[in-house]
DNA sequence: AGCTATCGTTAATAATTTGGTAACATTGAA
DNA sequence: TTCAATGTTACCAAATTATTAACGATAGCT
């Protein structure tokens, strides 16, 4: 419902990376908690029950792998997702990481957009237990990994904002998303754009997938409905 | 008068912010109480038992964190929700805040519409999920999420005011809502409309869902009854 | 790096829906 | 019966959304 209710615990010993990631996550409206080693990660996680924990692997005091193992063995944290930060070719770490129950990896060097889309994809698991990849609604199929939309087999490539917006609306067909919902989840809390911007994007999406799919609920927002 | 009215205690030492928030909250029909530091917050809270307490963190005499701790340790106030007002990057405060039992955060600078939607989301916790999801009364079903009304399977879309009004009446079937109740909950306190406006809306709703569902209680108001 | 196509945003304006009111009719309780 | 309260209708104003075009930003390419 609201991005700001999603808690992300960010753990890295390098202040620069921490600050960089924190900035990007907050820009999207997430509630960010910070830790600088595995021990802190475990402590904060137990108190705060974050939705997602982003763990660097190489850290002093307690490394990410060990922290992950502990977190995975803490029943109250069984709903937290864990993703590792890892330098590019650390294959051994990757194997060890999945072994202790990580849900995903983000490779350094980190590109903010890639990271955000990975994180969003991960967080969607929290809500929709249903079809994760290749979600089908009506004659549409949405592939979040490939950033593609199929309409009766025809392949459409929507620009990023349009895709994110359509993706949001289709994530819960029938549900009305208010303009605030849309702004905070597609644009992020910090970014301020005019109200007409949403309309224009809706218009462009309708142009591509057909007019009927997205319904206007005047005074409230939009919904995707078959 | 309106015993269902929601009380919000607003605490900040900056008169400008106080006034700004008070204006926006009252416009929505909330009953607003004001305090200018943590000590006042605790005093007023104990007397008034507000539904929601909005606390600034940095305040003279007693800060918000301490006030929150005291309120959370006061059994008679266990049903009050607490949300902090916080400047953007005050991470330490945020962690400390959740620690003492805050329910949410609102970040400065405050955008009225975002704030209202957060507050409404919070207040929904009070009533549980009751009024939120597909509530069924008689042959009617009201889906707030989809903004739809089903009548024997037939799907109706009501404009916003009609939907809100019907939604209010059905939230407590049998209860008579006075015209005042209706005005303050559907229109908000600031907005002044003529006497016939409610009637006209009732008329439009009756036209759609049938004449029998909403009963007039002459001299008092309206009630929804099966 | 420079060039080019695409994307995101806004402004301006049109189209649409919703909300509110006036004016008059009807109802029902004292 | 009487008359204040409510019902009804049609109409206008206000709010909201749709559409188009233009422009700067950005990303991808050579």
> Which nucleotides on strand D sit less than 7 A from a protein beta carbon?
5-10, 15-21
pLDDT single digits (tens) A80-90: 888 887 665 55
pLDDT single digits (tens) B29-82: 788 999 999 999 999 999 988 989 999 887 888 888 888 889 888 878 877 888
Assess whether A182 (CB) lies less than 7 A from strand D: no
**Separation of alpha carbons B63 and B56, rounded Å:** 8
- Please state, for a pLDDT cut of 70, what percent of chain B lies above it: 81
pLDDT single digits (tens) A169-225: 988 888 999 998 898 888 876 677 888 999 999 999 999 998 889 999 999 999 998
**Separation of alpha carbons B123 and B83, rounded Å:** 11
3-state secondary structure at position B131: coil
What pTM was estimated for this model as a whole?
0.66
Confidence of residue B212 (pLDDT cuts 50, 70, 90): confident
Confidence of residue A53 (pLDDT cuts 50, 70, 90): very high
Strands (E), B80-204: 81-86, 104-107, 135-137, 140-143, 148-151, 154-156, 176-178
Q: Is the dihedral of CA B220, B183, B164, B110 positive or negative?
A: negative
In chain B, which residues have their Cβ closer than 8 Å to the Cβ of A189? 107, 114
Q: For residue A222, how far is the Cα from the chain centroid?
A: 21
Assess whether B199 (CB) lies less than 7 A from strand D: yes
Q: Quote the DSSP letter at residue B111.
A: P
In chain B, which residues have their Cβ closer than 8 Å to the Cβ of A175? 145-146
pLDDT value at position A79?
74
**Separation of alpha carbons A145 and A147, rounded Å:** 5
**Separation of alpha carbons B119 and A11, rounded Å:** 30
Q: Which one of B88, B104, B147 has the shortest CB-CB distance to A220?
A: B147
pLDDT single digits (tens) B134-152: 577 878 889 888 999 998 8
């Amino acid at each position: 419902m609201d991005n700001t209710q999603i808690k992300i615990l960010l753990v890295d010993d390098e202040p620069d990376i921490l600050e960089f990631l924190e900035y990007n996550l907050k820009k999207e409206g997430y509630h960010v908690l910070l830790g600088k080693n595995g021990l802190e990660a475990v402590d904060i996680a137990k108190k705060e029950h974050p939705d997602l924990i982003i763990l660097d692997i190489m850290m002093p005091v307690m490394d990410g792998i060990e922290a992950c193992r502990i977190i995975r063995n803490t029943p109250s944290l069984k709903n937290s997702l864990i993703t590792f930060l890892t330098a590019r070719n650390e294959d051994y770490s990757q194997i060890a990481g999945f072994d202790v129950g990580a849900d995903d990896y983000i490779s350094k060097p980190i590109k903010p957009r890639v990271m955000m889309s990975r994180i969003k994809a991960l967080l969607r698991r929290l809500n929709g237990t249903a079809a994760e990849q290749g979600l089908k609604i009506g004659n549409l199929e949405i592939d979040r990994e490939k950033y593609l939309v199929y309409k009766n087999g025809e392949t459409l490539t929507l620009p990023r904002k349009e895709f994110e917006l359509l993706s949001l609306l289709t994530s819960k067909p029938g549900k009305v998303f208010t303009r605030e919902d849309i702004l905070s989840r597609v644009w992020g809390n910090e970014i301020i754009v005019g109200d007409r911007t949403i309309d224009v994007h809706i218009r462009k999406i309708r142009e591509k997938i057909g007019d009927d799919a997205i319904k206007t609920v005047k005074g409230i927002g939009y919904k995707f409905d078959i």
